Amino acid sequence: MIRGSLVAVGLLISAAALAQGTPAQQGAAQALRPAIVYDLGGKFDKSFNEGVHMGAEKFKKETGVEYRDFEPQTDAQREQALRRFARDGHSPIIAVGFSQESALKKVAAEFPSLRFAIIDSVVPLPNVRSITFKEHEGSYLVGVLAAMASKTGKVGFVGGMDIPLIRKFACGYVQGVKAVKKDAEVFQNMTGTTGAAWNDPVKGGELARSQIDRGADVIYHAAGGTGIGVLRAAADAGKLGIGVDSNQNGLHPGKVLTSMLKRVDVATYTAFAQARDQDWGGHQVLGLKEDGVGWADDEHNKPLITQDMRDAVAKATADIKSGAVKVHDYMADQRCPV
């Protein structure tokens, strides 16, 4: 905290020395007191929220700037938490997850001098930076890998809450699978329709087992904490899982084919770092081209990825970047073509 205030004081002095800054700039410089409101999965979900946490921790380590965070237990707490951070003068305040959209819309409008950011949703206010990802592109890549790793020609997908965003993951994945094997079968399951679906590993495990029973041998999850049960069930059955958001390859080394990386850590770090810049707001869409999504390649899954797979996924990456392959975005028209 002391270091944090020292930095802030230092900035104030330099801002005063310049003595030319607009009020907005001074306000921004004065107020690097970042705060985060996580989504229901909690900051140690080994997945989406944990990615944000890692980004924030990295920033803290490098700059010494402390940040505050809050893990809501219920939907109603989101707005309270955002408002409390705003009242305390925190800026930027990062709202993690699409479900904070309505709460953030309200609070951000009440505190126009503070800076906010939202991950996974779009709030069109001048003081809010909206960050979304092209999850369909990353999912396409792991779909390619899944189809090539599958021996049965059947692969699975387990989603968390049944919402368009998760359908977007599923749709990109199916497209990737079908691009490799036209006749491959993809089983899709959603865990539930409420926030509890992000945190139910028992149900996730059962869903994965039901897909394995039907012949699936590679299962991709986009289900936060629920996915821990999915990866566990796949590993127990001697099949392969695919992680999501953070790199989950190390959870069951040799049993996790890869992870679809969604670089929320980078997005968080960048948001903290740019909080003093003049420009804020706007809508950032991070895809393959921007290194916002990708697939995890590390020592844990090295034996699972053959050279053929590496080549195929490299080609798919290049094709998507160049525009030769267009991965359909489910959220564009609420429909999946495959």
Q: Is position 75 an interface residue for other proteins (rule: CB under 8 A)?
A: no
Q: Single out the residue of 138, 141, 140, 118 nearest to residue 130, CA to CA.
A: 118
Contacts 24+ apart (CB under 8 A), 76-81: 78/37, 78/103, 79/103, 79/106, 79/107, 81/37
Q: Binders of other proteins: how many residues, by CB under 8 A?
A: 27
- Quick check: helix, strand or coil at residue 121? coil
**Interface pick for other proteins out of 91, 130, 175, 189 (rule CB under 8 A):** 189
Least separation in angstroms between CB 256 and other proteins:
13
Q: Distance between CA 12 and CA 7 in Å, rounded? A: 9
**Interface pick for other proteins out of 99, 127, 199, 270 (rule CB under 8 A):** 199
Least separation in angstroms between CB 113 and other proteins:
32
Least separation in angstroms between CB 117 and other proteins:
22
End-to-end C-alpha distance for the chain, whole angstroms: 52
Least separation in angstroms between CB 149 and other proteins:
23
Q: Single out the residue of 102, 144, 146 nearest to residue 125, CA to CA.
A: 102
**Interface pick for other proteins out of 228, 257, 260, 309 (rule CB under 8 A):** 228
Cα 199 to chain centroid distance, Å, stands at 16
CB closer to other proteins, 46 vs 134: 46
**Interface pick for other proteins out of 210, 274, 289, 305 (rule CB under 8 A):** 210
Q: Distance between CA 183 and CA 181 in Å, rounded? A: 6
Q: Is position 225 an interface residue for other proteins (rule: CB under 8 A)?
A: yes
Least separation in angstroms between CB 125 and other proteins:
30
CB closer to other proteins, 123 vs 228: 228
Location of structure tokens 């709202």: 95
Q: Is position 120 an interface residue for other proteins (rule: CB under 8 A)?
A: no
Cβ contact 223:163 at 8 Å = no
**Interface pick for other proteins out of 33, 43, 167, 263 (rule CB under 8 A):** 43
**Interface pick for other proteins out of 214, 283, 321, 335 (rule CB under 8 A):** 214
Give the list of residues 6+ apart from residue 312 with CB closer than 8 angstroms, or none.
144, 145, 148, 180
- Judged by CB under 8 A, the chain residues 232 through 271 that form the site for other proteins are 232, 251
92 cis-preceded (ω within 30 degrees of 0): yes
Cβ contact 8:30 at 8 Å = yes
Which residue stretch of 13-21, 222-230, 255-263, 300-308 sits at the interface with other proteins (rule: CB under 8 A)?
A: 222-230
What is the H or E stretch that residue 221 is in?
Answer: strand 218-222
Q: Single out the residue of 216, 170, 174 nearest to residue 191, CA to CA.
A: 170
Q: Is position 205 an interface residue for other proteins (rule: CB under 8 A)?
A: yes
Cβ contact 294:241 at 8 Å = no
**Interface pick for other proteins out of 39, 45, 69, 137 (rule CB under 8 A):** 45
Least separation in angstroms between CB 312 and other proteins:
28
CB closer to other proteins, 4 vs 250: 250
Cβ contact 220:203 at 8 Å = no
Least separation in angstroms between CB 158 and other proteins:
10
Least separation in angstroms between CB 36 and other proteins:
14
Which pair of tokens denotes residue 336?
């999946």
CB closer to other proteins, 114 vs 223: 223
Least separation in angstroms between CB 318 and other proteins:
34
Interacting residues with other proteins (CB under 8 A): 42-45, 71, 188-190, 193, 196, 199-203, 205-207, 209-210, 213-214, 225, 228-229, 232, 251
